[in-house]
Amino acid sequence: MRSRCRGRGHEAHTSVLLVHGDTHFFKVDKPLYSPDRLLSNLTRLQTFGSPLIHWVRVTVEPKNANVFSVQPVIVKP
């Protein structure tokens, strides 16, 4: 999976947002490197999961240098 994402991110001439739920902790980062550089156009968003039933608002602004704006929204119990 990492290899495929790395390849797609390296080929893309635009910003890419990879969204997944894994360990159920909110995280936004740039986790992948090609052999010689950080893939700065690929951003990972790891979402909340059970029992933390919060949500994430993503705004896409293609004309902005930071295409993706990510805002966690905490739901009070």
pLDDT tens-place string over residues 6-60: 566 566 678 889 898 867 789 999 887 777 778 888 899 999 988 878 999 999 9
Please state, as a whole number, how many other Cβ atoms lie within 10 Å of the Cβ of residue 13: 5
CA distance 36 to 39: 9
Rounded Cα distance between 1 and 66, Å, is 25
pTM value is 0.78
SS (H, E, C) 18-77: EEECCCCCCEEECCCECCCCECCCEEEEECCCCCCCCEEEEEECCCCCCCEEEEEECCCC
Q: Which has more pLDDT, 2 or 46?
A: 46
